[in-house]
Amino acid sequence: MTIPSTAGERLREVARLYVRQQRAFGPSRSRCDVLNEILRHGALSQRQLAQQLGLDKGWVSRAVEALVRDGSIDKAPDAHDRRSVVLRLSDTGLRRAQTLNAQLNRHAEQLLASIPEPRHARLHAALGDLLQALLELQPDNKATPRPVLRMALATDWPPIERLLLECGLPVAGAHEHIDTFAVAEMDGQIVASAGLEFHDDVALLRSVATGQAWRRQGLAEALLREQMRRARARSAKTLYLLTTTAEAFFLHHGFAPCERTGAPAALERSAEFRGACPASALLMQYTLETE
């Protein structure tokens, strides 16, 4: 074939042929990518893996299942989230990933060795420029910083109250429990919250809210996990909550609806049970496994 004239066409052709030649070393490109990504991170959930690879969850799931079946990946329950599993390389998987990496490195070295030595310095600089440009285009490497998750301070109450009101949630009784609230902060603004109330050994989750502009980015889920961890650390066995608006979100995260009449008496001390939440609010519960 003739060498394309524009830099863009050359780049596409380089990428196409390079990936095609690399495929010769592995049974399937997707499985190689999965092995390499787990090798790089040590352990990953399936969701994190799909995010890292920028690939469809279903596609990643099929590749993972094939690697579990051939003994390359071990799946273990996530100690912090009983609905999630952590993926690690087995001894076999580790050996396969290392062999694969050695083959890919050899292929790169052979390719570079076939280019005359005097051109290497220019090539090296051009590859560095390309790598830099690609890294800057990576969604998770963009200059956009992510909100920071932290426990709330007493001074956070006014913005938390504003957020709860904007999200249509009750504020009564929340201020008393500010020291067990977790928040997400971005540029000095509170953009998401999740509160926890302890009544004896009973834990009540409340005030789970994410500002409109920040929804569907995993903030509520991250705060929820943090609060589950804290509730476990305080030896709570069950996490309760009342909701009128977010049953689907909590079902998605493993909570189950339960009878309000069966709620522990200690919860009657919460303002949410004393009227801040409407009587029609649904009671849901989540069993916290012991660690």
83 belongs to the binding site for ligand COA (CB under 6 A)? no
215 belongs to the binding site for ligand COA (CB under 6 A)? yes
209 belongs to the binding site for ligand COA (CB under 6 A)? yes
| Among 60, 67, 160, 241, interactor with ligand COA by CB under 6 A | 241
| Among 216, 261, 278, 279, interactor with ligand COA by CB under 6 A | 216
Which one, of 286, 260, 285, 284, lies nearest residue 273 by Cα?
260
Residues 189-208: x where in contact with ligand COA by CB under 6 A, - otherwise, as a string: ---x-------------x-x
Rounded CA-CA distance 160/205 in Å is 15
How far is CA 186 from each of CA 152, 227, 230, 278, rounded to the nearest angstrom? 13, 19, 22, 32
What does the block give as tokens for 223?
């705060």
**Interface segment toward ligand COA; rule CB under 6 A; list 13-21, 26-34, 106-114, 248-256:** 248-256
167 belongs to the binding site for ligand COA (CB under 6 A)? yes
Place of tokens 């009587």: 279
| Among 30, 72, 180, 210, interactor with ligand COA by CB under 6 A | 210
Instruction: For residue 204, give the H/E element and its range.
Output: strand 202-210
How far is CA 224 from each of CA 55, 79, 102, 149, 229, rounded to the nearest angstrom? 25, 15, 41, 11, 9
Rounded CA-CA distance 33/20 in Å is 14
Choose between 69 and 216: whose C-beta lies nearer to ligand COA: 216
Residue 214 per-residue DSSP state: G
What does the block give as tokens for 100?
């694969």
221 belongs to the binding site for ligand COA (CB under 6 A)? yes
Quote the least distance from Cβ 221 to ligand COA, whole Å. Answer: 3
Binding residues for ligand COA, per CB under 6 A? 167, 169, 192, 206, 208-210, 215-221, 241, 243, 245-246, 248-249, 252
